[in-house]
Structure 1
């Protein structure tokens, strides 16, 4: 079962759709965090020695519990973050599917047989790291949490989960639903903000920290890990580029750009956040992109941002770009009224030096810069400190291969802003993080590798000092 936390500091959530109060959640204290770590460490030994298939059975039960409460969780997600209920429900379904994926792949996670001396046996075995602290975001809160929880638990770790303080009611309810499936101390949810996360990442009893969120927080976690020795898995900020080559249909490219920039109001880790379009197709592309943004705004198809704090960041980037010479094609103005709404926005005539082309936005903003040829666009797309993902729209396979080679990012997508095989495991680079954040390779992140050499009695040559 989940641990019970002590009432201390209160976190109040405002519905970003209408400005009403969702409710308040009390955060965990340092004593709560310390007790949770102790309980997780006490439970880890017995959890580790369970057969992987039995741990997988627990994950299947967790997936079923998640589906049984999907409607409730989707409504909470909508109220706390503004995400439409149907999109939230899809994220919850994805989370359940991911738990089942790890229930199947966990028992298949194995070591290697090694070639050594005749009649000796040499092999490697993966072993759990121990106690895992998982710090998860608000933009797809159930799917991301389920992935990390599933991979950590099926490999024999115990888990302390701190959901985002921007959706604490959802996080607490998720913890109650999933925690009831596992033995005492195996999965504990701790409510709270950055202070609670800092308590966990600085605790010497934590063996691995997984964090999905901002690059600034990721840097602090990495710094704390140098003192504790914890292994870090970080999927952090991004400034994903979209490069539109000559020879593609401008209208189709604009549809891809609109999907990448405006889906979930631009609040996806791999949203399109900067666009480089070849001059040969720029006129059609820009006209169609503006039309699509205008249609979304006119029909109320853009959900609010998670809160007004984020809206201020997004609006400031847009305002600075306009002041520096960018032209508003659509949107770009904070609406009156309650909530945290912001329109789908297209910025034209952008330059590389603008903040909106360099720093993460995390809102429904599509900044466009026209380039003279593919080489210029590729160089611009490859620039910057982030290395999460990038997309290239091209009919030229040489250009596609040049992009794969030249973009220092974890994921390169050709001719599709979203998608990919379910078994993919990407490593972000630069300020975007480190380690495999999902897929089968995430199992490797949550385990150590032990090498075993087994010889026969009396068969080894005696060691002689020289």
Structure 2
């Protein structure tokens, strides 16, 4: 921000062909402070609203979003390049998430406690206060709906700051949802890192919920250490895929392709590094290379969100080649407009290569061959991230080893994606902290109060411990 608190407009280009999508003014310091003040002013009334009424309004918000799902999806496609069917599925997931929290919010409750016979002991929950939610571009509607829905269901007021890479999508989401609620309950601000940083430092903010890069998450955590805000972070991952010797290599390669290439590798839980047992390595690699080649030939890989990210991905691949990796498919910057990048398979990868050690937010499948399951598991368990991991094996003993050894929020066995409805996970280390979704997210946005009710004249005198 300049001394007056103003910022340059955000300019967005369509990653499919490089054409201008639009420009959006960023909210300055005065707008940020006004949003926080409005959220604080609305907090007592919203916190005091009957949970059933909050649920009813969340259902109304879900219905409003569903009515404009096609419009939302179109903006997502224009800003991020995500295929229309996938963008629409993301909006529908957002609708379902709002409906989920509309149901879960009213039944979110405290606990009765065992105390004296003539006393009552129980807990009640209440909102933490003003919640700032900082949401990403790679699934902008579904992720935002989850954080907003859980925060509002528990009585918090919300200031949403969508990613500067999808500002029109985020603005439209706010325009659809905010009118359903009382004034000040939900506000959407536009801006990039400077706006996010200013929100993180505001003393009137009680919760900072962020889904995005680990570097940004670390900055938010440092700011919260000074303000006292509660922090919920789901950040980057370097998720391993471990392929055992006893699985079908063609099936395993299909799983690897889904994990590495879905949404062009732009998923927090994408497969980022692959360890395959030497006994099936040749067949596995041949199948994965063939699948990557097919996707590239058929134009099945959507563009990355912008040229800046594409350059980062390509630099990581270039560095890996210098350190001894080899390209089996892809790995070449395509000609023409947009931010396209091919599905890429790298062989002979190892620790020390950035493409193996850090998060590579692109359609890249880097592979290291290992001599045993134990060796691969040790490598998969190493590193500073702790988001998710996948193991493909037919051995129950190896499953048990993996679950014990992998210090991550989610361990997937024989499927890179999936899970039961209502699941939730806690990322570790650089990947974040707290429950970022599911019923437990309601707990993250709540404070618990313990109540003891004694009978008059029955309390024994004494000093509490």
**Smaller-chain TM-score bracket:** over 0.9
| Cα shift readout 1:226-245 (whole Å, capped 9, x = no counterpart) | 11000000000000000000
Residue 276 of structure 1 corresponds to which residue in structure 2?
275
Q: Cα offset for 1:462?
A: 2.5
Residue 45 of structure 1 corresponds to which residue in structure 2?
44
Residue 208 of structure 1 corresponds to which residue in structure 2?
207
Residue 119 of structure 2 corresponds to which residue in structure 1?
120
Q: Where does the alignment leave 5 or more consecutive residues of structure 2 unmatched?
A: none
Aligned pairs for 1:305-344 within 5 A: 305-344=304-343
TM-score, normalising length from structure 2? 0.98
Q: Cα offset for 1:327?
A: 1.1
The alpha-carbon distance between structure 1 residues 53 and 281, as it changes in their structure 2 partners (threshold 3 A), is: same
Query: Deviation above 6 Å: which 4+ runs of structure 1?
Result: none
Residue 150 of structure 2 corresponds to which residue in structure 1?
151
SS at match of 1:340: coil
Aligned pairs for 1:3-402 within 5 A: 9-402=8-401
8 Å CA contact 2:243–2:276 kept in 1: the answer is yes
| Cα shift readout 1:337-366 (whole Å, capped 9, x = no counterpart) | 100000000001111221111001010000
Q: CA RMSD in A?
A: 1.2
SS at match of 1:180: helix
SS at match of 1:287: helix
Q: Cα offset for 1:463?
A: 3.4
Residue 438 of structure 1 corresponds to which residue in structure 2?
437
Q: Cα offset for 1:324?
A: 1.1
Distance 1:30 1:164 in 2: 18
Distance 1:451 1:19 in 2: 57
Distance 2:112 2:170 in 1: 41
Distance 1:232 1:351 in 2: 34
Distance 1:43 1:352 in 2: 51
Residue 3 of structure 1 corresponds to which residue in structure 2?
none
Aligned length: 461
Q: Cα offset for 1:465?
A: 10
SS at match of 2:242: strand
Q: Where does the alignment leave 5 or more consecutive residues of structure 1 unmatched?
A: 1-5
The alpha-carbon distance between structure 1 residues 465 and 42, as it changes in their structure 2 partners (threshold 3 A), is: closer
| Cα shift readout 1:85-122 (whole Å, capped 9, x = no counterpart) | 11000000000000000011111111110011121000
TM-score, normalising length from structure 1? 0.98
Distance 2:17 2:181 in 1: 37
The alpha-carbon distance between structure 1 residues 462 and 62, as it changes in their structure 2 partners (threshold 3 A), is: same
8 Å CA contact 1:208–1:232 kept in 2: the answer is yes
8 Å CA contact 2:6–2:29 kept in 1: the answer is no
| Cα shift readout 1:367-403 (whole Å, capped 9, x = no counterpart) | 0000000000000000000000000000001101110
Q: Cα offset for 1:8?
A: 5.2
SS at match of 2:180: coil
SS at match of 1:366: strand
Distance 1:233 1:423 in 2: 18
Q: Cα offset for 1:423?
A: 1.1
SS at match of 1:233: strand
8 Å CA contact 1:152–1:159 kept in 2: the answer is yes
Distance 2:241 2:426 in 1: 19
Distance 2:196 2:103 in 1: 30
| Cα shift readout 1:245-287 (whole Å, capped 9, x = no counterpart) | 0110000000000000000000000000000000011011000
8 Å CA contact 1:7–1:26 kept in 2: the answer is no
